[in-house]
Each structure stands twice: as C-alpha cells, then as structure tokens.
Amino acid sequence: MGIETIGTWKCFGGTQGIYRHASEATGTDMRVSVFMPPESASPPPVLYWLSGLTCTEENFTVKAGAQRYAAEHGLAIVAPDTSPRGEGVANVDDYDFGQGAGFYVDATQAPWAEHFRMYSYVSEELPALIAKSFAVDGSRQGICGHSMGGHGALTVAMRNPQRFRALSAVSPIVAPSRTPWGEKALAGYLGEDREAWLAHDACALVETRGWGGDILVDQGTDDEFLADKLRPELFEEACGKAGVPLTLRMQEGYDHSYYFVATVIGDHIAWHAERLKRD
C-alpha cells in the first residue's frame, strides 16, 4: 500500500512531512507525520512518538520542537494520528473516548471493533510501511509518547521487544486498568472482562513480561491529571518488583501540556539516540 505526500517542508537541514495512506488495520485513511534528519552516510534509526487524547499527528509536530534535536542526533521521528477518523467511523462526543482517543488497542466491542485497531496499526502496519517508504534503519527503533501515547509506548514496546529497543514516556497513563481514563476506554473497546485489560496495562505488563533495557519517564508535579489518572508511583513500584531499571523524573512545577513535552523532548531524543546507535 503506497503513501501519499500531503506536504513537506525543509526543517533544520532535514525534511518534515505529513503523509496519508490507506490502512489495512483500521480500514480507513491514516495520516502520519515523518521527520527525516539531514542525509548522512547510513540510514537513521527511527523514534516513534504516540500522542495523547484529542491529538492528531499535528500536535507533536508543531508544538514539541523535536525536529532540532532529531536533526542533531540523526534520528527520524514518526508520529501517527491517535485514532481512525472519517465518515462511517464510530464516534461519541467525548474527548477521552472514540475518535482522537484510540488508546492503542484493537477494539473487540461493537461499534468500535470495525476500525479502532490502533494496536495492530502502530505495532505492525506502520513500522512496515515506514521501513518500505523511507530510507530508515528499521532494525533500530525506539518508542516514546505522551499521556495516552505514553501508555501506548510502554505497552506496545513491552509486547513487541523484538521491534523496539528503546523506551521512554512523558506523563504516561501507566495503570489504565485501575485509573479513570483507562477504565472507561478499556471497558468501551475491550468489554467488561478486566482480565483482558491487563494485556494493555503497563504496570501489569512490566511485571509479567519485563523489559530488556531501561526506561525513562518524565512527569510534571503540577500536572492536573497526576493524582488520579496518571499515578506514576504505581509504575515505579511495578518496575521495582520486576527489577526493570526506571528513571522517573518528577519535574517541579510543570503541567500536562505540550510546554512540558517541549521542555523534556531534547532529553528523550538524546536518550533514544544513545541506545539506538549502540551495536
């Protein structure tokens, strides 16, 4: 399946592009942002970025300021939309469920099961499409994300360690089976069997599957969602039990916005670049 260019712009010596393609996983067109760093002797490693509630491929692209760091470190960045969209795609008038809130799962419940297959999309279809369509090193891939996208990054990586070798998150949802955003989404997409939710719960996954490397998480202390919806201390506890090295940085005074993402994105890109360039 081909990829269609919506627009490209020269940026920090590289190319920022927005693309569209027909997705087999979702049965819809999907839009994706791809930054390619300045050309170098070898194809760049790839960092996947998964965005949070209400986002499209655009929020990260225009707000995070990631391109400067990706160009410096020679990393490609791929940032997909957060759900299928369009005519004939189910939706509700909620910011935290339905379109813009795919939660990186494959829905099993009607009417969502038909198109809401974001797990298959980001873990299988998108990496294959990117490796085919861009001059990148598909054997060196990392994944990172924000909020719902932090949940996506943690869970997709731990379920696909052969595909992703570096992992970090900003303000992630870490225990969706026990916190409000996650409980609503997992019940809606996967049904009431809470056992099935654990396959998409970072705390449960780190205890059952572990992770072969270390994990970086940044979290603002003034985040309005910290106490009830994010709860990074649960992930810290789970990583401790599993013996997985976690660097959890509680960043004083920052909230949940992209101003925080922009503040820490340089560290995350450097962190991924270091791990992805190791032999």
Ligand X SMILES: N[C@@H](CCC(=O)N[C@@H](CS)C(=O)NCC(=O)O)C(=O)O
**Catalytic site residues?**
147, 223, 256
Which of residues 55 and 107 has its CB atom nearest to ligand X in the complex?
55
Which of residues 39 and 224 has its CB atom nearest to ligand X in the complex?
224
Which of residues 94 and 233 has its CB atom nearest to ligand X in the complex?
94
Read out DSSP for the chain?
Answer: --EEEEEEEEETTEEEEEEEEE-TTTSSEEEEEEEEPSP-SSPPPEEEEE--TT--HHHHHHHS-HHHHHHHHT-EEEEE-SS--STT----S-TTSBTTB-TTSB--STTGGGT-BHHHIIIIIHHHHHHHHSS--TTSEEEEEBTHHHHHHHHHHHH-TTT--EEEEES----TTTSHHHHHHHHHHH-S-HHHHGGG-HHHHHHHT--SS-EEEEEETT-TTIIIII-HHHHHHHHHHHT--EEEEEETT--SSHHHHHHHHHHHHHHHHHHHT--
**In angstroms, what is the minimal distance from the CB of 202 to ligand X?**
15
**In angstroms, what is the minimal distance from the CB of 159 to ligand X?**
21
Which of residues 52 and 127 has its CB atom nearest to ligand X in the complex?
52
**In angstroms, what is the minimal distance from the CB of 51 to ligand X?**
6
**In angstroms, what is the minimal distance from the CB of 80 to ligand X?**
14
Q: What is the largest CA-CA distance in the chain?
A: 51
**In angstroms, what is the minimal distance from the CB of 8 to ligand X?**
22
Which of residues 32 and 129 has its CB atom nearest to ligand X in the complex?
32
Q: For binding to ligand X (CB under 6 A), which residues are involved?
A: 52-55, 59, 63, 95, 146-148, 256-258
**In angstroms, what is the minimal distance from the CB of 35 to ligand X?**
17
Which of residues 160 and 257 has its CB atom nearest to ligand X in the complex?
257
